[in-house]
């Protein structure tokens, strides 16, 4: 009868442990408690004696904690201060922009929006976008944590010559700069998700929003490309400088994003004429859907200029004998 307290205690400890540890810890704990009991009170220990020994052992959650592996957190102490800062910045910008949007919709000349409705709409949007941004940032930092990026692996023999070169002024990335970039991408991503039903190409008289289905089809890929971009900015925030790795990732992720944009436009262009003929037959004869390709071409030119500038700067440094790439 008195041993049922030990069984209950051990079961409670096990409840707080990972499954693969439970059996062994339970068995050892039981053996230890019985040893302790017998040593102190002999074979005729009373129920009070059992409860006394358990009380001395401490609460089951505390005992279980001492057995658990130490790194049981989503974001460790090394990343937490940065995570907190990024999260606060992103959420502040979110709230600020939505308050601004709400104010504009209310006070725009000729606006006929009911104040109560507008405030409720924007509060809902703020909550949705904040939750979404929080989830994305948490995921990025969780991945950084698990990648072990923060750990400086100690080398057996440390050579001062292995110290990284001081970055050129152009390679330095300020914390504010990377936080801002990260925040803007997060906000853009959140808005694309929240207003997913309102994005398309509006035609007068159309009952549904044409091309919203095409947009939604590509939304997961667009989101993925933006999340990759955010990972680069989080990395830059930590490193504080552009390096060959971050540059290569940035280039590859931009290329990926451009590919997604191109495929989206291509699908819209293919269906453009048929849908235009349904909604605006007069315009259908005048408009060439190939003009839509200017969107990905313009994006490609902007990216080519940006990455070309970076490469040119790196080559110039090489010529001067400073290698950073």
Partner 1 sequence: MVLNKEQLTALDQKLTLELRRGMLTLAVLGALRSPSYGYALKQRLAGRHLEIDQGTLYPLLRRLEADGLLTSEWIVDGSRPRKYYRLSPDGEKTLKALRAKWKSLVGVVEALLDETTQGTADDEETQGETK
Chain positions contacting partner 1, by CB under 8 A: 27-29, 31-32, 34-36, 39, 57-58, 62-63, 66-67
Q: Which is nearer to partner 1, 22 or 94 (CB)?
A: 22
Q: Which is nearer to partner 1, 27 or 217 (CB)?
A: 27
Alpha helices in the chain (DSSP H): 3-15, 19-41, 47-57, 60-67, 80-107, 115-147, 175-194, 212-239, 244-279, 281-286, 294-319
Q: Which is nearer to partner 1, 39 or 152 (CB)?
A: 39
Helix then strand count (H, E) for the chain reads: 11, 0
Residue 92 CB, nearest approach to partner 1 (Å) = 39
Q: Which is nearer to partner 1, 36 or 243 (CB)?
A: 36
Residue 91 CB, nearest approach to partner 1 (Å) = 38
Residue 158 CB, nearest approach to partner 1 (Å) = 21
Residue 17 CB, nearest approach to partner 1 (Å) = 12
Whether the CB-CB separation of 227 and 138 falls below 8 Å is answered with no
Q: Which is nearer to partner 1, 9 or 79 (CB)?
A: 9
Question: In this structure, what token pair is assigned to residue 71?
Answer: 């790194």
Q: Which is nearer to partner 1, 36 or 177 (CB)?
A: 36
Give the DSSP H/E element, type plus range, for residue 3: helix 3-15
Residue 178 CB contacts under 8 Å (≥ 6 apart), including other chains? 233, 234, 236, 237
Q: Which is nearer to partner 1, 59 or 89 (CB)?
A: 59
Whats the size of the chain, residue-wise?
325
Helix axes 3-15, 47-57, angle to 10 degrees: 20
Helix/strand/coil for 270: helix
Residue 45 CB, nearest approach to partner 1 (Å) = 14
Alpha helices in 148-243 (DSSP H): 175-194, 212-239
Residue 30 CB, nearest approach to partner 1 (Å) = 8
Residue 264 CB, nearest approach to partner 1 (Å) = 51
Whether the CB-CB separation of 199 and 215 falls below 8 Å is answered with yes
**Pairwise CA distance, residues 134 & 86, whole Å:** 10
Other Cβ atoms less than 10 A from the Cβ of 264: the count is 21
Residue 202 CB contacts under 8 Å (≥ 6 apart), including other chains? 209, 210
Residue 7 CB, nearest approach to partner 1 (Å) = 14
Whether the CB-CB separation of 1 and 47 falls below 8 Å is answered with yes
Q: Which is nearer to partner 1, 31 or 273 (CB)?
A: 31
């Amino acid at each position: 009868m008195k041993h049922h307290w030990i069984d209950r205690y051990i079961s409670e400890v096990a409840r707080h442990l990972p499954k693969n540890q439970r059996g062994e810890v339970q068995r050892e704990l039981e053996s230890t408690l019985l040893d302790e009991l017998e040593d102190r009170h002999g074979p005729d220990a009373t129920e009070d004696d059992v409860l006394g020994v358990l009380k001395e052992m401490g609460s089951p959650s505390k005992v279980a904690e001492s057995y658990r592996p130490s790194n049981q957190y989503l974001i460790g102490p090394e990343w937490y201060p940065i995570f907190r800062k990024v999260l606060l910045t992103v959420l502040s910008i979110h709230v600020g922009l939505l308050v601004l949007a709400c104010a504009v919709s209310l006070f725009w000349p000729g606006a006929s929006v009911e104040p109560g409705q507008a405030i409720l709409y924007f509060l809902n949007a703020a909550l949705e976008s904040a939750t979404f941004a929080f989830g994305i940032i948490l995921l990025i930092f969780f991945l950084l944590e698990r990648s072990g990026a923060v750990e400086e692996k100690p080398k057996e023999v440390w050579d001062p010559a292995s110290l990284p070169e001081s970055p050129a002024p152009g390679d330095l990335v300020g914390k504010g700069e990377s936080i801002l970039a990260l925040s803007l991408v997060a906000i853009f991503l959140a808005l694309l998700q929240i207003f997913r039903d309102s994005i398309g190409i509006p035609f007068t008289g159309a009952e549904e929003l044409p091309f919203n289905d095409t947009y939604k089809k590509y939304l997961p890929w667009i989101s993925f490309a933006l999340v990759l971009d955010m990972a680069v900015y989080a990395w830059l925030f930590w490193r504080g400088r552009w390096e060959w790795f971050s540059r290569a990732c940035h280039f590859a992720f931009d290329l990926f994003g451009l590919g997604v944009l191109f495929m989206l436009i291509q699908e819209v262009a293919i269906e453009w004429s048929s849908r235009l003929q349904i909604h605006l037959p007069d315009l259908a004869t005048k408009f060439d859907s190939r003009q839509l390709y200017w969107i990905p071409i313009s994006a490609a030119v902007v990216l080519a200029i940006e990455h070309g500038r970076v490469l040119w700067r790196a080559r110039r440094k090489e010529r001067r004998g400073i290698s950073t790439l």
